[in-house]
Structure 1
Amino acid sequence: MLIPIEGVLSKDEVRQFRQRLDAAAWQDGLKTAGTLARSVKRNLQLEDGSPLAVELGNLILRKLGNNPLFVSAALPNRIYPPKFNRYADGGTYGAHVDSAVMAVPGTNVSVRSDLSATLFLAEPDEYEGGELQVEGPFGIQSAKLAAGDMVLYPSSSLHCVTPVTEGARVASFFWIQSMVQNDSSRVLLFDLDQSIQGITPALAADDPRLLKLTGVYHNLLRQWAVT
């Protein structure tokens, strides 16, 4: 299931990000590719741990911490520090599955990748191609969102980035370890939470129906969450 989250960054924030990223020193993405990925990965990445990557990544994390839709969808426990990539001149990333557990550089912390995130930093009309394609139980879903919007999808999914034939696709990407590891349980909680939020404005705060549904949500979360 792909979950789009609009407006993680404002257009002005995207502009500020791009001013700095467009002037950055990018490195070959193969430097961070695993054995299998080396044969399908062709892009550029900002150096992990560089001052710019850390600064912009922290800004993204602060924005997400105040984003109710992200919190509802991801139920985050740990988040891998955001990374940044650039696809141009036929750049692509063939079909692959993200690593299950990732060590955070310079720490003794590891993140289990339950959810993958792509935050788009280029408008769709800035480049040709570059769709994120995710294979799921109902076929392939594609995402090519407006700059500042983000998409979440299960890290266990086979996915790819199609070749960028014109322009440049710039994005941030990272992984989330959720308090609820099971994808179907997490989706069920998300649907329930969104339904509760949808009916809340029409009901009194002490309406027994609302209290009952809220109790069901939190008791399911209590049963499934691992922190």
Structure 2
Amino acid sequence: MLLLDQVLSTGDLETILTRIAAVPIRDGGNTAGGRTAKAKNNREFALDHEGTEAVGTLVLNALRRNADFRAYVQPLKIRMPIISVYDPGMAYGDHLDAPVMGEGPIHTTRTDLSVTVFLSEPGSYDGGELILRAPTGERSVKLPAGGAVCYPTAYVHRVTPVTRGRRLAVVTWVQSRVRDHEERAILYDLTCAIHALPEDVDDGQRLRLNHVYTRLMQKWTEA
């Protein structure tokens, strides 16, 4: 799991709130199927509206610019985001996201990682925590507006009931170049170690570590 403090700037957030002001809001159950739909009680901004598409593009571009996101996720495909709305009384029970989304060879995405980008300040609403059932135990996530969390799509997760205010968030899914989560974590740790090297470190040592990274990428990545 990766927490990112500021994927979206203050200007980005202002633009998003302005763009979605005129977008119709629909039942969130329309984008869930089977048992997942029964657990889902929220609303979403209309996917086919130009305002939603503009916001989705803005968020995707912001994610792609973020070096930590790129290093951790190794993105190959990123789904067009959904903008979710939780008002008082709304929640999303324990569920799993679909392992594959879309139809056809071009539009199909294997969902290795899920991403939530928070649009509301945590003090503006009560409840609405994203609870992730990780191997080490449950993790509660409620980040400042503009922050994001990336986590394996295989995690069971839920959004607790909102009791005050409004929770706005953008959610999307990523197919990674590196399918295996452990391999992806190794690459991310190695990237962090390389970036943490002091400026005066021997050039040969830096080159050796970069060589290791390159060889692992060649071994583990999917084009």
Measure, in 2, the Cα distance between the counterparts of 1:123 and 1:69.
Answer: 22
Q: Deviations over 1:113-133 (max 9, x none)?
A: 000000000000010011111
Q: 1:34 to 1:139 in 2, by over 3 A?
A: same
Counterpart code for 2:6: G
- The offset of 1:200, in angstroms, is 5.1
The CA RMSD over aligned residues, in Å, is: 1.6
Instruction: Identify the residue that residue 213 of structure 1 maps to in structure 2.
Output: 209
Alignment of 1:39-54 (within 5 A): 39-54=38-53
Measure, in 1, the Cα distance between the counterparts of 2:126 and 2:214.
Answer: 44
Q: 1:98 to 1:200 in 2, by over 3 A?
A: farther
- Percent identity over the alignment is 35
Measure, in 1, the Cα distance between the counterparts of 2:200 and 2:222.
Answer: 33
**Unpaired runs of at least 5, structure 1:** none
Measure, in 1, the Cα distance between the counterparts of 2:198 and 2:52.
Answer: 39
Measure, in 2, the Cα distance between the counterparts of 1:155 and 1:178.
Answer: 11
Q: Which runs of 4+ in 1 moved over 4 A?
A: none
Alignment of 1:111-190 (within 5 A): 111-190=109-188
Q: 1:104 to 1:125 in 2, by over 3 A?
A: farther
Instruction: Identify the residue that residue 3 of structure 1 maps to in structure 2.
Output: 2
Q: 1:200 to 1:77 in 2, by over 3 A?
A: farther
- The offset of 1:16, in angstroms, is 2.1
- The offset of 1:88, in angstroms, is 0.8
The SS at the match of 1:70 is helix
- Equivalent pair of 2:97/2:154 in contact (CA under 8 Å): yes
Q: Deviations over 1:32-81 (max 9, x none)?
A: 12111121100000122321111111111122222111100110000001
- The offset of 1:104, in angstroms, is 6.2
Q: Deviations over 1:88-127 (max 9, x none)?
A: 121111111110100069x941010000000000000010
- Equivalent pair of 1:28/1:44 in contact (CA under 8 Å): yes
- Equivalent pair of 2:118/2:146 in contact (CA under 8 Å): yes
With 130-139 and 57-66 compared, the bigger mean Cα shift is at: 57-66
The SS at the match of 1:199 is coil
Counterpart code for 1:34: G
